[in-house]
Amino acid sequence: EGQRDGGTVVVSSSGGSRTLDTPAQTPVLVLAVESYGRIARILEKGLPVTMEVDVGNTFHDQNMETFNIFAEIPGTDKADEVVMLGAHFDSWHSGTGATDNAAGSAVMLEAMRLLKALDLPMRRTVRIGLWTGEEQGLLGSRAWVQEEFGTPNTPTAAQRKISGYFNVDNGTGAIRGVYLQGNGAVAPIFTEWMKPFNDKGVRTLTMASTGGTDHLSFDAVGIPGFQFIQDPIEYDTRTHHTNMDTWDRLQADDMKLNAAVVAAFVYLTANRPDLLPRKGPLTP
């Protein structure tokens, strides 16, 4: 079965022991649908089925501390206000993490390089955050956001000084639009910003929310946080959390487009007269 399917091995993030003090869990193996079906058909014919699995794990308890990475381009007259872009740079172990999420990290770094190389004045400070611990539950971004911006009930002064956060974490495919996370007030703004890229297919806005990545950490404390919509390019069907997540799956031209789109959104956010509108009034 493995040979027929190209040998794809999926890392399941459900269950397991994620901390040293978590009791050991019963090992769980997930069968591919076609493998399960084959076993079921054999059993229906009254034939015995034998499975042999060799599972070995090692828990390393050295160097348990991990780090986020930040860089900034200082703003001009509104330098105390911030626009952020980011992606997580950790990955699962079965592949090399190319589409999840080296692609997103590379796109954000390239967007920063473009902004720096163009040397256009930006009123607000632009900050990139590359997050660790995303795969274990947005640990890096959540910890930093709480420290920097507080909680919904106890926001810091910095929470009122950040315009928004843009995230890329949907593989290597071209950006097609933005999940608005229920923030309808930004729809007309983003519609205008997408117009130069409409001929590249960047034209979709949805009020829908999407989860599972670091923009949620910002959205949770009242900061406009957005994830871009991307072409799937085998992301959910082949590379996501599997041993097939390798560099040869990356689409260079799509990633170049993505960097340009992100750079444009960040630049325009940095130079708006006002901060991006929020979903509701700031918590007093």
Q: Please state the domain count of the chain.
A: 2
**DSSP label at 19?**
S
| DSSP labels, 87-136 | EE----SSS--IIIIIHHHHHHHHHHHHHHHHT---SEEEEEEEESS-TT
Residue 29 has pLDDT above 80, yes or no: no
Q: Which of 224, 215, 214, 219 is nearest to 140 (CA)?
A: 214
Q: Is residue 160 part of a domain?
A: yes
Under DSSP, is residue 37 helix (H, G, I), strand (E, B) or coil? Answer: helix
Owning domain of residue 115: 69-271
Q: What is the mean pLDDT of residues 96-109?
A: 98
Question: What pLDDT does residue 121 have?
Answer: 96
Do 151 and 197 lie in one domain? The reply is yes
What would the pLDDT profile of 239-284 be if each residue is shown by its tens digit? 999 999 999 999 999 999 999 999 999 999 999 999 999 997 544 4
Do 55 and 147 lie in one domain? The reply is no
Q: Is residue 282 part of a domain?
A: no
Q: What is the mean pLDDT of residues 103-107?
A: 99
Residue 7 has pLDDT above 70, yes or no: no
What would the pLDDT profile of 44-99 be if each residue is shown by its tens digit? 999 999 988 877 777 777 888 899 999 999 999 999 999 999 999 999 988 999 99
Q: What is the mean pLDDT of residues 14-32?
A: 72
What is the reported pTM? 0.88
Q: Which of 198, 230, 231, 223 is nearest to 276 (CA)?
A: 223
Q: Is residue 280 part of a domain?
A: no
Do 75 and 52 lie in one domain? The reply is no
Higher pLDDT, 11 or 80: 80
